[in-house]
Amino acid sequence: MRKGIVQLVAIGVGIGVVLTLVAVLFKWLPTSASEEFDRIQDLYWFATIISIGIFSLVTAVVVYSVWKWRVPDDDDADGPPIHGHTGLEILWTAVPAVLVIAIGVFSAVVLAQNGRAGDRPLEVEALGQQFAWKFTYSDFDDVASGELVLPLGREVRFTMRAVDVIHSFWVPNFGQKMDAVPGITTEILVTPTRLGEFAVVCAELCGLGHATMRAKARVVRPAEFEAWIEERQA
Amino acid sequence: MTATHDQHGGHAAEGYPEHFEPPRGRAWTMAFGPGLVRGAWMALRVVGLGALLVVALRAWWGWSPYWDTHIVLVVGAMTAAPIGFLAGIGSFDYWLHYVSGRPTRPEDHSGHGARTWRDYFKVNTDHKVIGIQYLVTTFFFFTIGGLMAMLFRAELAQPGLQFVDSQTFNGLVSVHATLMIFLFIIPAFAGLANFAVPLMLGAPDMAFPRLNALSFWLLPIAGLMFLASFLVPGGAFASGWTAYAPLSEGQPMGQTFFNMGVQWAGASSIMTALNFLVTIITMRAPGMTFWRMPLLVWANFTTSLLVVIATPFIAGSQFFVMFDRIMHTDFFTPEGGGYVLGYQHIFWFYSHPAVYIMMLPGFGIVSEVISTMARKPIFGYRLMALSLIGILVLGFSVWAHHMFVAGMADWLRVPMMITTLLIAVPTGIKVFSWTATLWRGRIRLNTPMLFALGFVTMFVIGGLSGIYLGSVPIDIHASDTYFIVAHIHYVLFGGSVFTIFAGVYYWFPKMTGRMYDERLGKLHFWLTFVSFNATFFPMHYVGLRGMPRRVFDYAEAFGQLNFFISIASFVLGASFVIFVYNIVTSWTRGPVAESNPWRAHTLEWQVSSPPPIFNFDEIPQVVGGPYEYGVPGARHAVMSPAKEHVAEQEEVHA
């Protein structure tokens, strides 16, 4: 029996190691370019560790059982009549409950942090219309642009509206997404932390041109941003 | 009169002399007797009536133009024609005779049993025949839905548009999902349960056999309606199977086919579910207490509760959209005071429980298969049944997790996240109990068992990606991406479809009296298992990296992986051909099966394969649990051993 347990653990650890390598060696998430996405990525890794553990455990038991106790199809004996085990059943009710509550609490904390606007964020209005985005900078005489330009390190509050149907504003590198819904306004916060050009993608099916409803987001140094705004105001 | 009817006519005349029908010729019967021919012409005739009604009413009110194709289609083709068809094939004959005071056909159960393959194309009240009708129909639509998937996977092999235009692409995606959900997974489970549940309960049939027949015949109507949408101007409905308003409200005519098709499919589900509930509550054999019911019965009991409570909501959501479209109401149009998110709340109040409608029967099947093939009692039977109830209750409190980025009230997010995550607890109980059932069993790794174990492992992946999506901040990033596509396919393909395959292989000998080819079955499993993972696992990656779902075009960076996914999906499609070949050849000339090839304890295996027309020659007396494997001397039920009806069946198939 002891040998069996060692073998079972070895299978579980083997599966776990392979999965960990798959999780680490491939870059599953885009490079984070916002404070909000940094926090989401921490949460993602927390969930991944738990997931690898649970999947390895279940698969190890299945693989081990089939390996150890497989019989030919014409075998006509029965297994031992084990009907249950109250202790085990309590254990596998309680442990997953604790794990998911841990994920839930962590998530709620991240959600609260990502949703708390600081003092005077940069206000940008994002307007979705089949099939393009329009960004309006209400702090600067309603300067409007089809390209999203943001200053590095400054918190931005996007206020979203839609003209015709539901669109969804998503910058994969910011890890933040929110639908733009006709009739109501919605909000999301992003604090860019990385210079560069990123894709703005529409994530909600919005009709014929949905796939091509993309825009460019450019994160620049604050001075460059001021210059860009002035150029636009002129 | 056909030969069959002559017999019954004669039989009926003996006992009920007042019931007399003048002899009719064969041609007369073909045209005017219940059947597909009468169904066709009656459907056509009421299309005309519907059109006439629309034109007459519009003319009366002075609405110009009098002829509005869209309205005529809704009233004539999508409402009246199905009723005409159902009346034509004879679904209402008994009730209409009864209501109108004409002599009803005496209750001789002449509709029971199928004598030739032609009987499967008639209204039949035998739950075993209906079960097979369901399964064949649903696999037909599964094939079409699968071909659609391969078509749009071909389109997605490269960025940019190659084969189809944008509207067609969106249409293919939408119809694929709609067929798979409403015409395959939900009704395929209903088919398996239709066959197995009355037998497992020790009942001669379902509680309402005529209602059972009617609910089956509603199904092809819904399926053809979804498919017919490709033929109207503007193409098929193209706003996804979720059909979010207001996009769905501005769509061409095809969208209305979705609005109405869902009504027919939904009505079918609700009727079947009511039938199951009444059957399970009232028709259990003596001694069959709730705590002695097989878990498949428990699973269908809880599923039926979900269906009955939730399905009216999707019906409502689609009626509202249709009213906005054709009657210019303003349920979901903000300009008229409508509330856009209202649609999503109503829609998901059905469509999240629908996920469990598509999962719980599979849990039941897997419990049967694992316990039988591992030769051990199911581990923690009562907790297994209670966890189904837990999922049922929790399942109604999580719908808004589909709306974390939809702009709904912020305060609703965290409570919905907690209930969503908590569903992992009853689900976890089930997974751990299945693995514990395997422990120290005597495991026979045949095809049903392979699919059951494939299900357990794949479903865990789907469950775990569900944890990511349940967590609001991760969902904000991953929602509406290919990560979602990966997740739902791990749940609905690695989950539901694997269990449907397990169930079909498991009950195949019972349904047909013949054995499938084990080698082909195993080949089918391994090819499906590998190509399924190759198709859907990389979708997690492209989704998290930034590829949204429901797009025909995507960033160049995802090109190679999408090409790989498309190739894998073609292999997945090809693996299904093996299944079809195996089923068709085994059904026609496979070796004759024993009555209980798996040595299972549940009641359906204690009768001949296929079972006698009224299931049990004597009513079984249930004396113990359904999975008492390895308990010396334990019995589930006391009854005389199965009479082999093999010889009789040979005749039928010859």
pLDDT per residue as tens digits for the range B136-170 = 999 999 999 999 999 999 999 999 888 899 999 99
The pLDDT, as a whole number, for residue B576 is 97
Task: Express each pLDDT in B489-511 by its tens digit.
Answer: 999 999 999 999 999 999 999 99
The pLDDT, as a whole number, for residue B12 is 39
Q: Can you tell me the distance from the alpha carbon of A218 to that of A149, in angstroms, rounded to the nearest whole number?
A: 5
CB A63 within 8 A of CB B445: no
Is any Cβ of chain A less than 8 angstroms from the Cβ of B442? Answer: yes
The pLDDT, as a whole number, for residue A12 is 96
First to last CA, chain A: 81
Look up the ipTM and state it.
0.96
The pLDDT, as a whole number, for residue B93 is 86
Chain A, residues 166-185, CB within 8 A of chain B, namely: 166, 168, 170, 172-173, 175-184
CA distance B259 to chain A (A): 18
Task: Express each pLDDT in A86-103 by its tens digit.
Answer: 999 999 999 999 999 999
Q: Rounded to 5 degrees, what are φ and ψ at B453?
A: -70, -35
Neighbouring-strand partners of residue A70: B443
| Nearest residue in A to B156, CA atom | A211
Q: Tokens 């119809």 label which residue?
A: B175
Task: Express each pLDDT in B198-228 by its tens digit.
Answer: 999 999 999 999 999 999 999 999 999 999 9
Lowest mean pLDDT among A43-47, B98-102, B322-326, B523-527: B98-102
| Nearest residue in A to B408, CA atom | A186
> What domains lie within chain B, and their CATH numbers?
1-31 (no CATH), 34-99 (no CATH), 125-321+333-351 (1.20.210.10), 359-511+521-550+561-574 (1.20.210.10), 592-654 (no CATH)
CA distance A231 to chain B (A): 31
Q: Can you tell me the distance from the alpha carbon of B600 to that of B168, in angstroms, rounded to the nearest whole number?
A: 48
Of B246, B379, B479, the CB nearest to A182: B246
Quick check: A28 pLDDT over 90? yes
The pLDDT, as a whole number, for residue A184 is 95
Quick check: B111 pLDDT over 80? no
CA distance B436 to chain A (A): 8
Tell me the domain boundaries of chain A: 2-70+86-115, 122-233
Neighbouring-strand partners of residue A135: A126, A145
What is the widest separation between alpha-carbon atoms in chain A?
A: 88
% of chain B beyond a pLDDT of 70: 93
Chain B, residues 222-261, CB within 8 A of chain A, namely: 239-240, 244, 246-247, 250
The pLDDT, as a whole number, for residue B64 is 86
- Asked whether the beta carbons of residue A83 and residue B445 sit closer than 8 angstroms, the reply is no
- Asked whether the beta carbons of residue B240 and residue A50 sit closer than 8 angstroms, the reply is no
- Asked whether the beta carbons of residue A181 and residue B407 sit closer than 8 angstroms, the reply is yes
Set of chain A residues whose Cβ sits within 8 Å of the Cβ of B438:
61-62, 65-66, 69
- Asked whether the beta carbons of residue A29 and residue B540 sit closer than 8 angstroms, the reply is no
The pLDDT, as a whole number, for residue B24 is 73
Is any Cβ of chain B less than 8 angstroms from the Cβ of A196? Answer: no
Residue B153 in tokens: 């996977």
- Mean pLDDT for B569-583 is 97
Set of chain A residues whose Cβ sits within 8 Å of the Cβ of B628:
81
CB B151 within 8 A of CB B172: yes
- Asked whether the beta carbons of residue A47 and residue B545 sit closer than 8 angstroms, the reply is no
The pLDDT, as a whole number, for residue B29 is 80
CA distances from A152 to B134, B301, B647 (A): 60, 57, 82
- Do you know the residue count of chain B? 654
Mean pLDDT score of chain B, rounded to an integer?
Answer: 91
CA distance B374 to chain A (A): 7
- Asked whether the beta carbons of residue A84 and residue B555 sit closer than 8 angstroms, the reply is no
- Asked whether the beta carbons of residue B481 and residue A178 sit closer than 8 angstroms, the reply is no
Quick check: B332 pLDDT over 70? yes
Question: 3-state secondary structure string, B492-508?
Answer: HHHHHHHHHHHHHHHHH
- Asked whether the beta carbons of residue A164 and residue B548 sit closer than 8 angstroms, the reply is no
The pLDDT, as a whole number, for residue B3 is 39
The CATH T-level fold of domain A122-233 is Immunoglobulin-like (2.60.40)
Q: Can you tell me the distance from the alpha carbon of B90 to that of B12, in angstroms, rounded to the nearest whole number?
A: 18
Is any Cβ of chain A less than 8 angstroms from the Cβ of B479? Answer: yes
Q: How far is CA B458 from the centre of its chain?
A: 20
Mean pLDDT score of chain A, rounded to an integer?
Answer: 95
Q: Rounded to 5 degrees, what are φ and ψ at B548?
A: -75, 160
**B642 band by pLDDT with thresholds 50, 70 and 90:** low
- Asked whether the beta carbons of residue B424 and residue A96 sit closer than 8 angstroms, the reply is yes
Quickly count: other Cβ atoms within 10 Å of residue A43's Cβ: 21
- Asked whether the beta carbons of residue A203 and residue B480 sit closer than 8 angstroms, the reply is yes
Task: Express each pLDDT in B29-78 by its tens digit.
Answer: 888 888 899 999 999 999 999 999 999 999 999 988 899 999 999 999 99
The pLDDT, as a whole number, for residue B653 is 45
- Asked whether the beta carbons of residue B340 and residue A181 sit closer than 8 angstroms, the reply is yes
Set of chain B residues whose Cβ sits within 8 Å of the Cβ of A213:
none
The pLDDT, as a whole number, for residue B371 is 97
- Asked whether the beta carbons of residue A28 and residue B167 sit closer than 8 angstroms, the reply is no
Q: Rounded to 5 degrees, what are φ and ψ at B611?
A: -65, 160
Q: Is the peptide bond before B65 cis (omega within 30 degrees of 0)?
A: yes
Set of chain B residues whose Cβ sits within 8 Å of the Cβ of A40:
473-474, 476-477
The pLDDT, as a whole number, for residue B138 is 97
CA distance A50 to chain B (A): 9
**B115 band by pLDDT with thresholds 50, 70 and 90:** confident
Neighbouring-strand partners of residue A190: A156
The pLDDT, as a whole number, for residue B23 is 66
Lowest mean pLDDT among A184-193, B303-312, B391-400, B633-642: B633-642
Q: How many CB pairs under 8 A join A and B?
A: 267
Q: Can you tell me the distance from the alpha carbon of B345 to that of B405, in angstroms, rounded to the nearest whole number?
A: 13
Set of chain A residues whose Cβ sits within 8 Å of the Cβ of B383:
84, 89, 93
Is any Cβ of chain A less than 8 angstroms from the Cβ of B414? Answer: yes
Quick check: A74 pLDDT over 80? yes
Q: Assign residue B90 a region: left if phi > 0, alpha if psi is -120 to 50, beta otherwise?
A: left
DSSP for B305-321, please give it. HHHHHHHHHHHHHHHHH
Task: Express each pLDDT in B341-384 by its tens digit.
Answer: 999 999 999 999 999 999 999 999 999 999 999 999 999 999 99
The pLDDT, as a whole number, for residue B10 is 38
DSSP for A67-100, please give it. HHHEE-TT-----------HHHHHHHHHHHHHHH
